[in-house]
Chain A
């Protein structure tokens, strides 16, 4: 029998495919060198290890047809940069999946608003795919996305497909438009005016920077959506993903094990405290 593994020991995974998205993001498909990917719930993340460089949490954006994890990484630091440079066939370490996932059943029968800020669309991708696949289970579905520039909007082709093939109301806004941009400009909260949902019978999935989460959730609550019907995905510094390094604390929460997905009634009082 295999001895009890240490929670910090990664499994070797091979890069099966690498797709540069736009600007500075890359989407990798990762498969274990041996065996198959463990099951995951949308919203969960893995700890991805670039050998010799470091390890960071990355959300799972879906499962490839081959069975591998699809994970989108933006090169912002040493570790994410090293992961983004990994080529097909190269090895990374992977632990997980970890954390809480999006509760799709809580949205059943309700209008659904999916709100993403920047790379926040990555953990929401499997949510939208589920909404598209099982449209009859939900009411009206809207996806609103905010990004810094048109070039930093991830999954542009899928956004178009969700809109054209699945009849989902997809709206995208940017802070800094380029000449070709014809869409809205400004914060993602401004898109709430442009979508149709019944606030008393609506559920929202929200992911983005803290400020985006707070602004979006506050606006939805102001319109009458219950805080318990807002699922938010929080981000904090994580070194371990298993509640032992202490870095990702947010008040009583270890974001890595008690989150990253929590309902807003729980998150709101914590996010309201500066530097918590």
Chain B
């Protein structure tokens, strides 16, 4: 079923009930896990006409909220315009059943194009401001150079961090000018293999995920948390520099959303994480040329970003230009400050084509149906020993993974002052020390440790955080020195 277009255009007028409904999903962390809530609001009165709470994110959830709304308004809603964003799996727009149900009740279902989905705040409802049509501009614009963007971000106090070609790889590092970004560079990524390639064009972003995700900017590899001397405890002020990440990929945006749940979603939120996260300005680049190890389509995280960014770029060729969409108020402010022209239909069609082509060229795929159930049940598979016979327990996969969050603590004492320091650093479940209990490791075998990592990432992560721990970036496959491929292992275990 083709997805309906956006006829609301961020203008939310309604002069009577049942003219315009808007809908959205959100999630709430509770002591017994994540609870998902779906709402349908009548814009005329801002009354919540339908709602539903559930412990899952399947189509039933928004459908039940919709059923309630239709029921409350007498069973038919002829002439209604229904608006929602293009959320996630099981959300409002990707659900065929949802659209069919609306058509049954007499209403066309109109959704925002990706990138316009966020109306006033991420995953938020149109605020009173927006419903009066005064929201920030969400129209896509076109720019032919990134130099003004880099300059503007720097003038706003951000350190701009973008891709640079260095030592045979794309790395994320500070750039002071768009001229420092790579030109005509591509990459070859296969299990255990990463090579930069040269192309005869001017494209800047036609490569896949680099070894650097956004993780080091939200969760530093090593940070001093606290100092203690006698009875004086000093919490170390976290470094939270203003950083604009230019070229962060949709899979890495999804990883940030996962990290948000890990560090902010529980009973013990991390204020240092929050500060660093809020100090980030995210300029995502929708992927055009996926790598051989990419599988974001399987994980539902790419190749096009729909939420979680300040600005989204799609790089277009012939002529070389960038389609830019705002995903936040400050993103829209930045666009306003740049020389740009409004996007025309031709630009939007070209950007759609880029994303569609990318989606068709995934290097890998994973069948995720039921994985949360069957993977933990596969704990006795002989396959774990087979993987362990190749795995070096080098921890590379966990270091490049954008969602692996495990840490350990180091303790030091300054001999002069007697001040003790606690330093938190990245850790890996592949080390023996990780599970040590009373002098011996709980997971002493390589098979036990690989099983822990893979099962956590793809299955038990759901139990803990209500989401998959994998975003399909493929880094663990590329950077495994012996080329162990999670997609292959999952296919074999299934």
Contacts and interface: CB of A to CB of B under 8 A. Distances in A.
Interface stretch (B282-290, B312-320, B430-438): B430-438
Contact of B409 (A55, A77, A91, A243): A55
Contacts of B439: 76-77
Interface residues of B, number: 52
Given A247-B406, A252-B464, A254-B464, 13 more contacts: A6-B235, A7-B268, A33-B231, A51-B228, A52-B420, A54-B411, A76-B439, A237-B437, A242-B268, A244-B407, A274-B448, A275-B448, A276-B452
A21 to B, nearest CB: 18
A22 interface: no
A169 interface: no
Nearest to B230: A91
Closest CB pairs A-B (n = 9)? A275-B448, A246-B406, A52-B413, A252-B463, A52-B420, A242-B268, A51-B420, A7-B268, A12-B231
A6 B270 contact: yes
A10 interface: yes
Interface in B436-459: 436-439, 442-445, 447-448, 451-452, 455-456
Residue of A55, A91, A246, A251 with most partner-chain B CB within 10 A:
A246
Contact of B226 (A6, A244, A245, A254): A6
A247 B262 contact: no
B267 A52 contact: no
16 contacts: A5-B235, A6-B226, A10-B233, A51-B228, A54-B409, A76-B439, A237-B436, A239-B408, A242-B268, A243-B268, A244-B263, A249-B429, A251-B460, A273-B379, A274-B448, A275-B445
Contacts of B437: 235-237
B405 interface: yes
A257 interface: yes
B240 to A, nearest CB: 13
Interface of A: 3-12, 14, 33, 49, 51-55, 76-77, 91, 93, 209, 235-237, 239-240, 242-247, 249, 251-252, 254, 257, 273-276
B362 interface: no
Contacts of A5: 235, 271
Given A237-B435, A246-B429, A275 B228 contact: no
Contact of A93 (B233, B267, B434, B455): B233
Nearest to A5: B235
A49 B409 CA distance: 11
Given A237-B436, A251-B460, A275-B448, A51 B270 contact: no
B220 interface: no
A243 B266 contact: yes
A55 B423 CA distance: 12
Interface string B407-433: 111011100000010101001010000
B272 interface: yes
A237 B434 contact: yes
Nearest to A98: B268
A15 to B, nearest CB: 12
B436 to A, nearest CB: 5
B225 interface: yes
B228 A12 contact: yes
Contacts of A251: 376, 455, 460
A5 to B, nearest CB: 7
Most buried by A among B412, B422, B444: B422
B463 A247 contact: no
B379 A236 contact: no
Interface of B: 225-226, 228-233, 235, 262-263, 266-272, 376, 379, 405-409, 411-413, 420, 422, 424, 427, 429, 434-439, 442-445, 447-448, 451-452, 455-456, 460, 463-464
A239 B452 CA distance: 18
A108 to B, nearest CB: 23
B310 to A, nearest CB: 24
A116 to B, nearest CB: 16
B412 A52 contact: yes
Contacts of A49: 228, 422
Contacts of B460: 249, 251-252
B271 A239 contact: no
B377 to A, nearest CB: 10
Considering residues A52, A254, A274, which has the most beta carbons from chain B within 10 angstroms of its beta carbon? A52
B442 A236 contact: yes
Contacts of B456: 249
Contacts of A4: 269, 271
Contacts of B225: 6, 8-9
B411 A236 contact: no
A244 B270 contact: yes
Given A6-B226, A6-B235, A254-B464, A247 B409 contact: no
A236 B59 CA distance: 38
A11 B233 contact: yes
Given A14-B231, A239-B407, A239-B409, A275 B268 contact: no
A237 to B, nearest CB: 5
A244 B231 CA distance: 26
A118 to B, nearest CB: 10
B442 A76 contact: no
B452 A10 contact: no
A7 B427 CA distance: 18
B233 A247 contact: no
A109 to B, nearest CB: 26
B260 to A, nearest CB: 13
B408 A247 contact: yes
Nearest to A54: B411
Nearest to B413: A52
A240 to B, nearest CB: 8
Given A4-B271, A12-B228, A244-B270, A275 B443 contact: yes
B438 A76 contact: yes
Nearest to A11: B233
A246 B424 CA distance: 13
A240 B409 CA distance: 9
B178 to A, nearest CB: 37
Nearest to B407: A245
Contacts of B232: 12
Given A52-B420, A239-B407, A9 B233 contact: yes
Contacts of B442: 236-237, 275-276
Contacts of B271: 3-6
- The CB with the most chain B CB atoms within 10 A, among A6, A49, A235, is that of A6
B230 A7 contact: no
Given A11-B233, A93-B233, A252-B460, A246 B427 contact: yes
A42 to B, nearest CB: 19
Contacts of A246: 405-407, 427, 429
A16 to B, nearest CB: 14
B165 to A, nearest CB: 34
Contacts of B434: 237, 247
Contacts of B448: 274-276
A273 to B, nearest CB: 5
